[in-house]
């Protein structure tokens, strides 16, 4: 079993790039499931209905989100009605649109896919560690493989989550910071881990955003309109290879750029 996880998509041009590249890349890698964080796909702040459907048309099987999950109002109903292919962080209040985890079937195996938001330097949501525990307890016996997109700012919080879930889930990957980390590894009890997937977007900006706008904000502390950067696009992610038999421990974690 191979699972391809793609870093945060930034802007419409990045979606168009995936429409050209993703299916061929996933096929060449032998990926059985493609998971992609889409929370910045609609010009940085959120994911629109149109862009969600476009990502799925590109070959993405499951879209995860983050702190901009509700940035586009027209996605709210879609989150409620399409819980098999799009999820938002589970530690948002239950009254929010959508769900925080889902189970998809791939090659006869049930894959529990979870999405959580960090709370260090981010919104003061429910504790992601206890929410992860609750989900695993609730779904016990109803899945074969489990993975988590942990959308968090602090690398320490992400790594702590990896160790917290080591041996209990098969894959933990971080998103949000848009910078690919060099710590792909298999943790001691068999969980595949990486602190951040990186991003899919313009490589010449600052985290996919126009550099001049970011510099203006940082130098002057005056309001600045953030827009997606120009220039070439790159897709960054990780392929996780799992055992073919129970308990489906992770064997290999490999960084991918295309």
Give dist(CA 15, CA 23) in Å, integer: 12
What pLDDT does 73 receive?
Answer: 96
Q: Is residue 17 classed as helix, strand or coil in its secondary structure?
A: helix
Neighbour count for residue 66 (Cβ, 10 Å):
26
Active site amino acids: 68
Give dist(CA 74, CA 193) in Å, integer: 33
Please report, in tens digits, the pLDDT of each residue of the chain (258 residues total). Answer: 999 999 999 999 999 999 999 999 999 999 999 999 999 999 898 999 999 999 999 999 999 999 999 999 999 999 999 999 999 999 999 999 999 999 999 999 999 999 999 999 999 999 999 999 999 999 999 999 999 999 999 999 999 999 999 999 999 999 999 999 999 999 999 999 999 999 999 999 999 999 999 999 999 999 888 999 999 999 999 999 999 999 999 999 999 999
As given in the structure block, the two tokens for residue 181 are 């980390």
CA 12, CA 228: separation in Å to the nearest integer? 9
* Nearest residue to 51 (alpha-carbon basis) of 102, 14, 4: 14
- Closest by alpha carbon to 132, among 162, 106, 159, 155? 162
CA angle 219, 9, 36 (to 5 degrees): 140
Residue 26 backbone phi and psi in degrees, to 5: -60, -40
- C-alpha–C-alpha distance, residues 36 and 197, integer Å: 10
Torsion sign (Cα): 130, 135, 138, 144: negative
- pTM value? 0.96
Return d(Cα 100, Cα 65) in angstroms, integer: 9
Evaluate whether 149 touches 165 at the Cβ level (below 8 Å): no
Q: pLDDT at position 43, please?
A: 85
Is residue 249 within 8 A of residue 170, CB to CB? The reply is yes
Contact 194, 176 (CB under 8 A): no
Q: Which residue has the tokens 């320490």?
A: 156
Please report, for the chain, the start and end positions of each structural domain, with discontinuous segments joined by +: 2-257
- What pLDDT score does 224 carry? 87
Domain at 2-257, CATH from 3.90.79.10, 3.50.50.60, 3.60.21.10, 3.10.20.310: 3.60.21.10
Q: How is 55-123 classified by DSSP, letter by letter?
A: HHHHT-SEEE--TTTTSSGGGHHHHHH-TTTB---TTS-TTSSS-SEEEEEETTEEEEEEEEE--TTS-
């Amino acid at each position: 079993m191979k699972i391809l996880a793609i870093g945060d998509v930034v802007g419409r041009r990045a979606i168009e790039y995936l429409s050209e590249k993703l299916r061929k890349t996933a096929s060449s890698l032998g990926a059985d499931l493609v998971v992609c964080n889409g929370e910045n796909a609609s010009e940085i702040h959120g994911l629109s209905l149109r862009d969600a459907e476009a990502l799925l048309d590109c070959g993405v099987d499951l879209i995860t989100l983050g702190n901009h999950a509700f940035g586009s109002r027209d996605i709210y109903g879609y989150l409620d009605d399409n819980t098999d292919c799009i999820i938002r962080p589970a530690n948002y209040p239950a009254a929010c649109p959508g769900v925080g985890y889902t189970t998809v079937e791939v090659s006869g195996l049930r894959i529990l896919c979870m999405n959580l938001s960090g709370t260090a330097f981010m919104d003061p949501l429910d504790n992601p560690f206890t929410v992860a525990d609750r989900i695993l307890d609730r779904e016990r016996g109803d899945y074969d493989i489990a993975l988590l997109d942990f959308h968090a700012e602090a690398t320490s919080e992400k790594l702590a989550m990896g160790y917290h879930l080591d041996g209990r889930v098969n894959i933990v990957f971080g998103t949000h910071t848009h910078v690919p980390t060099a710590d792909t590894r298999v943790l001691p009890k068999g969980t595949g881990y990486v602190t951040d997937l990186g991003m899919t977007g313009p490589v010449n900006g600052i985290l996919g955003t126009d550099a001049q706008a970011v510099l203006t904000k940082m130098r002057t502390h005056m309001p600045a309109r953030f827009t997606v950067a120009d220039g070439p696009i790159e897709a960054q992610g990780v392929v996780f290879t799992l055992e073919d038999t129970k308990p489906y421990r992770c064997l290999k974690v490999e960084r991918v750029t295309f």
